[in-house]
Amino acid sequence: MRVERWDVFELSFQGPREGNPFVEQWLCGQFHNRNETVQVQGFYDGEGVYRLRFMPSFEGSYTYQTSGSFPQAESAGSFLVTPAGAGNHGPVRVANGHHFAYEDGTPYYPVGSTCYAWVHQADALRQRTLETLSKGYFNKLRFCVFPKHYIHNLKDPVSFPYEGTPVDASGLTEEDVAYSLEFPGNRWDFTRFQPEHFRRLDRAILQLRDLGIEADLIAMHPYDRWGFSAMDRAADDLYWNYLIARFSAYRNLWWSLANEYDLMQAKTLEDWEHYAALLCEKDPVRHLRSVHNCVEFYDYSRPWVTHCSMQRQDLYRHVEYTDAYRVRYGKPVVWDEIAYEGNLDMGWGNISGQELTRRFWEASLRGGYAGHGETYLDPENDLLWWSHGGELRGESPARLRFLHRILCQTPGLGLRRGEGSFDEVVGVPDAPLYRDGYEIHYYGFGRPSFRTFQKEAGARYRAEVIDTWNMTVEDAGVHAGRFRIPLPGREYMAIRLVREA
Amino acid sequence: MRVERWDVFELSFQGPREGNPFVEQWLCGQFHNRNETVQVQGFYDGEGVYRLRFMPSFEGSYTYQTSGSFPQAESAGSFLVTPAGAGNHGPVRVANGHHFAYEDGTPYYPVGSTCYAWVHQADALRQRTLETLSKGYFNKLRFCVFPKHYIHNLKDPVSFPYEGTPVDASGLTEEDVAYSLEFPGNRWDFTRFQPEHFRRLDRAILQLRDLGIEADLIAMHPYDRWGFSAMDRAADDLYWNYLIARFSAYRNLWWSLANEYDLMQAKTLEDWEHYAALLCEKDPVRHLRSVHNCVEFYDYSRPWVTHCSMQRQDLYRHVEYTDAYRVRYGKPVVWDEIAYEGNLDMGWGNISGQELTRRFWEASLRGGYAGHGETYLDPENDLLWWSHGGELRGESPARLRFLHRILCQTPGLGLRRGEGSFDEVVGVPDAPLYRDGYEIHYYGFGRPSFRTFQKEAGARYRAEVIDTWNMTVEDAGVHAGRFRIPLPGREYMAIRLVREA
């Protein structure tokens, strides 16, 4: 048997169907090669099938032994791990303190989007979402395991995570959306998963992987009419263990404990710390872990948090605090929600493509990262990218792809914010990043007609004018000493200076 | 003799020319009618002429007595004060805690601009400035007594405030602009004013008055190559007394102790408090008083400060703190500098007309006021409205005039911010002001396609959609209970709701 490095090595077993296999049976395995020995939990996938998934982190020969609560679980064997193929760089890790790289060392600059409930839509719509994603606008996608109940999200999902029957959704209106801890009309067995719901997630994660997109999986969220946000500790633990066993072997997985954790009134800080401890203990790949706020930031300095997953706390200044949060938390700063391009009635969903793109550039050039969402009203089908996926209509995605292209040109691994150059006192919205003779000065909503630079004696710099909206990079000559770069007096311009060898 | 209420009653006297009349002679008067008794200082206007100016605050007969250090100063007489004519509403006062009204009770909604050095320009340019101002874009103008030395301001002014000779300005370049306490090459007699310099200011203040524009006179500033920013206490006192004696009788005068006081390294907080005490003691009209910051706000809670005269402290969030500063200082909040429409290299001078207009609306609907400036580069003549006056090229002035028209439609005196309606938590940039059934909801850079309202039972509201950029007000029907107002999904829209009687 052969498997590519960082791919999934999967073993399946026939086992008992009677009783409740989800709680009455267990399966585990140990995988060994010269560089690692890894314990992995298996899971029940319905219809008498048990699975064990493992992601090898090294090339070469592996051996394994499995065991479990039923006789067929006992097995042993070996397999060969071949070099990673094209496009396979391994899981994303934190790099240089505030940045990311794949495990093979390739820098990873997240430019994410959000389609919370795309997995819960019918297959045709899912396929259209994947076609949109194949255009390369984004390399991270946030989405939920549990279905979503919220404005523009009143229909039942195509599958539910548990056996049982949901509350009747007919007759629901947008006015019925409210946060509550009451869930009348539902009948669920929180000890019996519906494997098909999770198979859809399997397929989604793998489809994203094949598009080069990280799956930022949101395990919990408050937009609920079924009670999945208020299960008891035993049900929660069963759920988390199932997620870990089922999904950890996917190299493109990120764990988002929750979206807007602080709206989940049934959960306490102790709960979040408990789930995080389960992940730290049981996820053999040690995928990235965070939790996303609505109002109050989580304490991102907690050791289990690998990166900040932030929602803006202020309408007017947010990504512009990236520098401060880097210092405060000492981790990568990812702004997963900074308002969406769209035209909703709500302020979180109606900014322009220009403004969203500006926020991405501000975040990026201050050494952080940002996330996209799109919320254009669709009177005909009520399908919004932010929840359902489908097609994009906005102006920002192409610009975000352009930003990603620029970020990928950064020499070295990760970006470093220039100290002392960011001059807010005299009111210059000039957010430079530099790294060893490589600088980008971004002027945001400012419209300078020129900018003057003073560089060190003996150095020559190639200058380029970047139009972040029109997506052009124009040569502006080679300069030394004190020099002036003309600009067109429009918003959203940047100047790149690269020291010549 | 007759004079209109709140106009200038002026007496002139021939007196000694020998010696230094500015410091060796004095003149004062007492004006009396049944409602007030006022002490006024006179001043020397050169060529043996001494003047005494008085603004009567009441109608009816006044008597006066004058005296001084020379025999001709002794006089007495009477005059009649007639009702104020059309357009004469008296000085502007603080009203309703956070707002302004003229002394006759007419609300005054400041929409200011800045032409720091327009008075120091040649007459032809001054005339063009007045022609521009006659278009009614602004009703307040900030400008300086002392000439200005700064980028785009290297030429000598047409007059100097003191006798003497200035440093040679030929060969100065933009790179020579720096804050310094050294002023080599100047020879001034700080005890001898050049009256013509101040006569130009007299004319300017009166010309503004006749255009309905308040003169926000900046007594001191740091943009200096002549040493006027670093005179000693005796010279400062002579200067302040001269300003007070000369200008206090103009009803449209506001005192701005300084622009960017915190850049004036030769001055201490004690100096500012001392100048303010002089004003409180000697200005018989008690004109509005403030001082304008660069970085650090002055302590606007000081009792002599009538209103906050603020420069934004942050690039991204500033006028949006208006609510907070109203609470903190308990006074009118006037944002006299929030970046200028233009295309300078510097961030304080290169925002768009849209963004400047948005800042005005945010400030206004949060119960404060804002100020305009324009800094478009002029390669041919290097004339920028912000300093020199002349013509306006920007897109914001017409929109600010439109805003002023809307503000003037507010019922009652002054605006009140709605408590509890301003919802930043869910991210709605909805800054309503309301006052007894009168509300404006402004959506700034948000682009809602509709907004929903829930009004009290039994009330009917007329709705209007205001396009703050295209300057239109469109009827949106009469509504009651829960209702939805459609919007075009563009930036810079507002909804006005007026309860029907």
What does the pLDDT profile of chain A (501 residues) look like in tens digits? 899 999 999 999 999 999 999 999 999 999 999 999 999 999 999 999 999 999 999 999 999 999 999 999 999 999 999 999 999 999 999 988 889 999 998 999 999 999 999 999 999 999 999 999 999 999 999 999 999 999 999 999 999 999 999 999 998 988 888 778 889 999 999 999 999 999 999 999 999 999 999 999 999 999 999 999 999 999 999 999 999 999 999 999 999 999 999 999 999 999 999 999 999 999 999 999 999 999 999 999 999 999 999 999 888 889 988 888 988 999 999 999 999 999 999 889 999 999 999 999 999 888 899 999 999 999 999 999 999 999 999 999 999 999 999 999 988 765 555 433 444 333 334 445 555 688 888 899 999 999 999 898 999 999 999 999 999 999 999 999 999 999 999 999 999 999 998
For residues B491 and B457, the answer to whether their CB atoms sit within 8 Å is no
Instruction: Assess whether pLDDT exceeds 80 at residue B422.
Output: no
HSE, side-chain direction, 13 A CA sphere, residue B86: 0
Cα→Cα distances B447→A151, A376, B428, B433, Å: 18, 10, 10, 19
- Confidence (pLDDT) at A444: 92
Residue B356 touches chain A, beta carbons under 8 Å: no
The answer for A 434-463 residues in CB contact with B (under 8 A) is 443, 445-452
Residue A424 touches chain B, beta carbons under 8 Å: yes
Which of A47, A82, A117 is the last residue in one of the domains? Answer: A82
Question: Are B479 and B351 found together in one domain?
Answer: no
Q: Which residues pair with B425 in a beta bridge?
A: none
Residues sharing a CB contact under 8 Å with residue A495, sequence separation 6 or more, in sequence order:
A440, A441, A451, A463, A464, A465, A466, A476, A485, A487
For residue A237, the domain's CATH number is 3.20.20.80
Instruction: Assess whether pLDDT exceeds 80 at residue B430.
Output: no
Query: In Å, how far is A202's CA from the nearest CA of chain B?
Result: 33
Question: Are A335 and A472 found together in one domain?
Answer: no
Residue A348 touches chain B, beta carbons under 8 Å: yes
Is the CB of B428 less than 8 angstroms away from the CB of A346? yes
Question: Are A75 and A125 found together in one domain?
Answer: no
Lowest mean pLDDT among A98-107, A405-414, B240-249, B423-432: B423-432
Which amino acid, A59? E
Three-class SS of B376-430: CCCCCCCCCHHHHCCCCCCCHHHHHHHHHHHHHCCCCCCCCECCCCCCCCCCCCC
Question: Are A349 and A216 found together in one domain?
Answer: yes
Residue A316 touches chain B, beta carbons under 8 Å: yes
- Report the distance separating Cα B23 and Cα B25, nearest Å: 6
State the pairing for strand pair B374-375/B433-434.
unpaired
Classify residue A347 by its DSSP letter: G
Which amino acid, B316? Y
HSE, side-chain direction, 13 A CA sphere, residue A448: 24
For residue B439, the domain's CATH number is 2.60.40.3950
Residues sharing a CB contact under 8 Å with residue B152, sequence separation 6 or more, in sequence order:
B174, B382, B384, B387
Question: Are B142 and B249 found together in one domain?
Answer: yes
Question: Are B12 and B113 found together in one domain?
Answer: no
Query: In Å, how far is B252's CA from the nearest CA of chain A?
Result: 31
For the record, the structure tokens of A264 come out as 């989940």
Residue B177 touches chain A, beta carbons under 8 Å: no
Question: Phi and psi (nearest 5°) for B291?
Answer: -150, 140
The full DSSP string for A447-495 is --SEEEEE--TT--EEEEEEETTTTEEEEEEEE-SEEEEE--S-SSEEE
Cα→Cα distances A99→A35, A135, A399, B98, B178, Å: 26, 24, 21, 47, 39
HSE, side-chain direction, 13 A CA sphere, residue A302: 19
Average pLDDT over residues B480-486: 96
- Confidence (pLDDT) at B433: 54
Question: Phi and psi (nearest 5°) for A221?
Answer: -165, 160
> DSSP H helical segments within B90-194, as ranges?
123-133
Which of B58, B82, B106 is the last residue in one of the domains? Answer: B82
Query: First CA to last CA across chain B, in angstroms?
Result: 49
- Report the distance separating Cα A104 and Cα B167, nearest Å: 66
Which of A82, A98, A126 is the last residue in one of the domains? Answer: A82
Is the CB of B427 less than 8 angstroms away from the CB of A489? no
Tell me whether residue B413 is in a domain. Answer: no
- Report the distance separating Cα B334 and Cα B311, nearest Å: 9
- Report the distance separating Cα A451 and Cα A449, nearest Å: 7
The full DSSP string for B223-240 is --SSSGGG--HHHHHHHH
Is the CB of B427 less than 8 angstroms away from the CB of A347? yes
Average pLDDT over residues B129-152: 97
Q: List for chain B the helix, strand, coil content (%; round to 5).
A: 25, 30, 45
State the pLDDT confidence band at B426, using cuts at 50, 70 and 90.
very low
Tell me whether residue B14 is in a domain. Answer: yes
- The overall longest dimension of chain A from CA atoms, in Å, is 80
Tell me whether residue B428 is in a domain. Answer: no
Residue B103's closest CA among B233, B3, B253? B253
For residues A156 and A169, the answer to whether their CB atoms sit within 8 Å is yes
- Report the distance separating Cα A9 and Cα A3, nearest Å: 6
Residue A481 CB coordination number (10 Å): 13
- Confidence (pLDDT) at A327: 85
Question: Are A353 and A245 found together in one domain?
Answer: yes
Instruction: Identify the three-state secondary structure at position A233.
Output: helix
Rounded to two decimals, what is the model's pTM? 0.93
> DSSP H helical segments within B169-268, as ranges?
195-210, 233-247
Question: Are B210 and B161 found together in one domain?
Answer: yes
Residue B316 touches chain A, beta carbons under 8 Å: yes
Three-class SS of B261-284: HHHCCCCCHHHHHHHHHHHHHHCC
pLDDT above 70 as % of chain B: 95
Tell me whether residue B53 is in a domain. Answer: yes
Choose from B223, B341, B449 for mutation: most chain A CBs within 10 A.
B449
Instruction: Assess whether pLDDT exceeds 90 at residue B469.
Output: yes
Count, residues in chain A? 501
What's the whole-number average pLDDT of chain B?
93
Task: Please write the tens of the pLDDT for every residue from B385-413.
Answer: 999 999 999 999 999 999 999 999 988 76
Is the CB of A430 less than 8 angstroms away from the CB of B347? yes
Tell me whether residue B421 is in a domain. Answer: no
For the record, the structure tokens of B284 come out as 């018989």
Instruction: Assess whether pLDDT exceeds 70 at residue B267.
Output: yes
Question: Are A269 and A394 found together in one domain?
Answer: yes
Average pLDDT over residues B168-195: 91
Chain A residue with Cα closest to B313: A425
HSE, side-chain direction, 13 A CA sphere, residue A391: 5
Question: Are B6 and B103 found together in one domain?
Answer: no
- Report the distance separating Cα A179 and Cα A166, nearest Å: 17
Q: In A, which residues are within 8 Å of B446 by CB distance?
A: 347, 350-351
* Strands in B55-122 per DSSP E: 60-68, 75-82, 92-95, 99-102, 111-114
Which residue would you say has higher pLDDT here, A424 or B139?
B139
Per the structure, the count of domains in chain A is 3
For residue B21, the domain's CATH number is 2.60.40.10
Residue B475 touches chain A, beta carbons under 8 Å: no
CA dihedral angle for residue A198, residue A200, residue A204, residue A210, rounded to 10 degrees: 100
Chain A residue with Cα closest to B260: A426
Three-class SS of A431-459: CCEECCCEEEEECCCCCCCEEEEECCCCC
Tell me whether residue B417 is in a domain. Answer: no
Residue A179 touches chain B, beta carbons under 8 Å: no
Tell me whether residue A415 is in a domain. Answer: no
Question: Are B168 and B281 found together in one domain?
Answer: yes
Three-class SS of A187-228: EEEEEEECHHHHHHHHHHHHHHHHCCCEEEEEEECCCCCCCH
HSE, side-chain direction, 13 A CA sphere, residue A490: 12
Tell me whether residue B388 is in a domain. Answer: yes
User: Cα A84 to the chain's mean position, in Å?
Assistant: 22
* Strands in B294-360 per DSSP E: 308-311, 333-337, 341-342
Residue A64's closest CA among A83, A36, A84? A36
Is the CB of A343 less than 8 angstroms away from the CB of B317? no
Q: Which of left, alpha, beta for B211 (phi over 0: left; psi -120 to 50: alpha)?
A: alpha
Query: In Å, how far is A355's CA from the nearest CA of chain B?
Result: 8
> DSSP H helical segments within B112-222, as ranges?
123-133, 195-210
Instruction: Assess whether pLDDT exceeds 90 at residue B323.
Output: no
Lowest mean pLDDT among A390-399, B139-148, B172-181: B172-181
Please give the residue range of the domain that contains residue B284.
Answer: 92-408
Q: Which residues pair with A61 in a beta bridge?
A: A80
Instruction: Assess whether pLDDT exceeds 50 at residue B306.
Output: yes
State the pLDDT confidence band at B416, using cuts at 50, 70 and 90.
low
Question: Are B381 and B494 found together in one domain?
Answer: no
Residues sharing a CB contact under 8 Å with residue A269, sequence separation 6 or more, in sequence order:
none
Residue B174's closest CA among B198, B154, B199? B154
- Report the distance separating Cα B416 and Cα B366, nearest Å: 8
